[in-house]
Amino acid sequence: MKKITKLLMAMLLLILFNGCYDREIIDQKDFNFSLPNVENLTYTTADGQVTLTWAIPGTISDSFNRPVEVVVQRVVNNIYDERRVVFGEETSATFNVEPGENNRFIVRLLGFLTPEARLEGFTDRVLSEGVIIEID
């Protein structure tokens, strides 16, 4: 009986560990498209508002449709609060803030691949790594 139990446990472990890999990660190694981060991210504060400004890098590949978009994600006191998409390669966004709150902003470029650059089975939407700025 002990041998059967050990054999069943070994088979169960083999089945569990056999499915412990993500095939999508392996397949996406051939996906060679990326976006650079925004440049010169700064902020100003006035009257309960924070205005973020940045520059769109000039090194964006021709494989992306223009204009690219900018995604700004706001984290207030370690809680994801708001996600805003800035269209048309605008270079600023304004947020209302409360005194005493810790605000962290994650600014990322969002681009869509041109029809010629798209690869079958892969997304056409690419995000940059992002730049983080914290405001207390």
Give tens-digit pLDDT for 95-113.
Answer: 998 888 889 999 999 999 8
Q: Does the residue 52 lie in any domain?
A: yes
- pLDDT tops 80 at residue 135: yes
What would the pLDDT profile of 82-98 be if each residue is shown by its tens digit? 899 999 888 999 999 88
Buried b / exposed e across 1-16, counting CB within 10 Å, b at 16+?
eeeeeeeeeeeeeeee
Q: Does the residue 7 lie in any domain?
A: no
- pLDDT tops 60 at residue 25: no
Q: Which residue has the tokens 């006035």?
A: 46
**More confident site: 22 or 133:** 133
Closest CA to 134 of 73, 48, 90: 73
Which residues constitute the domain of residue 120? 32-135
Q: Does the residue 85 lie in any domain?
A: yes
Overall domain count for the chain: 1
Q: Does the residue 3 lie in any domain?
A: no
Q: Does the residue 5 lie in any domain?
A: no
Q: Does the residue 26 lie in any domain?
A: no
The H or E element containing residue 132 is strand 131-135
3-state secondary structure of 2: helix
pLDDT at 21: 57
Q: Does the residue 9 lie in any domain?
A: no
- Residue 99 · residue 113 · CB < 8 Å: no
3-state secondary structure of 28: helix
pLDDT at 33: 77
Closest CA to 130 of 43, 37, 46, 27: 37
What would the pLDDT profile of 33-77 be if each residue is shown by its tens digit? 788 899 999 999 988 899 999 999 988 888 888 898 999 999 998
Q: Provide the pairing of β-strand 39-46 with 79-86.
A: unpaired
CATH number of residue 109's parent domain:
2.60.40.10
Amino acid at 111: G
Q: Does the residue 12 lie in any domain?
A: no
